[in-house]
Amino acid sequence: MYLKMTTNEQRHQSTSFPFSTMTSHLLLFGLLVAGCSLAFASDPSPLQDFCVADQNSRVFVNGLVCKEARLVQADDFFYSGLQLMGNTSNAVGSAVTPVTVAELPGLNTLGISMARIDFAPQGINPPHTHPRATEILTVMEGRILVGFVTSNPENRLITKLLQKGDVFVFPKGLIHFQKNVGNGYAVAIAALSSQNPGVITIANAVFGSNPDIAADILAKAFQVDVNVVNQIQSKF
């Protein structure tokens, strides 16, 4: 009896929207429609069950050419090695072990990939962006401070301290970073919404491009003396 009353009450509520609820539903619908056109900005949907990358092909398309389906094996969909810790003995104290289409050819056309990230104590994964993917990160071990910055003109920093088991998402294209704030090693697993997310590490791209961006351009952009730019460029 009580259950039945609850059900009637719910039905009543769902058939008499206050105006503000209807407005918000219309807004949501509008956003969904807008989202349909944005969907083309991610990896395209597959046109067959799979398209294992033929890494020997000399033909270049948007993605990689499919290996002949009858030659495909279970190992084409397989990768082994994420149990191994990356070597974090470097200037930033972190190591990324990627599992993209380059390492796992079965990912071709599937719009997904992953990575293991190891951090030495106080190590960082420096500010970077993935031009083709949103990233969702899970902390497996340790405490990791994460953050991303929104686009111009706000450039708002959105940051959070994560514990083991916590999950955080970095929206596509935005500059983000991670830091191990614990005293031991930290490990995270990232999933990315592209078979080939790409990485642009900000410091390397700006101060370590090949050839260099002219120092006077960077001096003006960063509002510092040319000597400061030369000093930073010498590190990358």
Ligand X SMILES: *[C@@H]1O[C@H](CO)[C@@H](O)[C@H](O)[C@H]1NC(C)=O
Site for ligand X, rule CB under 6 A = 87, 89
* Comparison of 24 and 87: residue with beta carbon closer to ligand X: 87
Minimal distance, residue 83 CB to ligand X, in Å: 15
* Comparison of 111 and 123: residue with beta carbon closer to ligand X: 123
Is 12 part of any known ligand binding site? Answer: no
Closest residue by beta carbon to ligand X? 87
Burial class (CB in 10 A: 0-12, 13-18, 19+), 130: buried
Residues 67, 104 contacting (CB under 8 angstroms): no
Going by C-beta distance under 8 Å and a sequence separation of 6 or more, which residues neighbour residue 95? 85, 86, 87, 88, 117, 118
Is 155 part of any known ligand binding site? Answer: no
List for the chain the helix, strand, coil content (%; round to 5): 30, 25, 45
What the block records as the tokens of 55 is 């890494």
What the block records as the tokens of 21 is 């609820």
Is 108 part of any known ligand binding site? Answer: no
Minimal distance, residue 85 CB to ligand X, in Å: 9
Going by C-beta distance under 8 Å and a sequence separation of 6 or more, which residues neighbour residue 235? 207, 208
* Comparison of 15 and 89: residue with beta carbon closer to ligand X: 89
What the block records as the tokens of 171 is 């929206």
Is 25 part of any known ligand binding site? Answer: no
* Comparison of 184 and 198: residue with beta carbon closer to ligand X: 184
Minimal distance, residue 118 CB to ligand X, in Å: 11
CA distance 233 to 226: 10
Minimal distance, residue 120 CB to ligand X, in Å: 11
Give the type of residue at 226: V
* Comparison of 16 and 89: residue with beta carbon closer to ligand X: 89
Minimal distance, residue 91 CB to ligand X, in Å: 10
Q: DSSP assignment, residue 185?
A: -
Binding positions for Mn(2+): 128, 130, 135, 176
Binding positions for oxalate: 125, 130, 135
Binding positions: 125, 128, 130, 135, 176
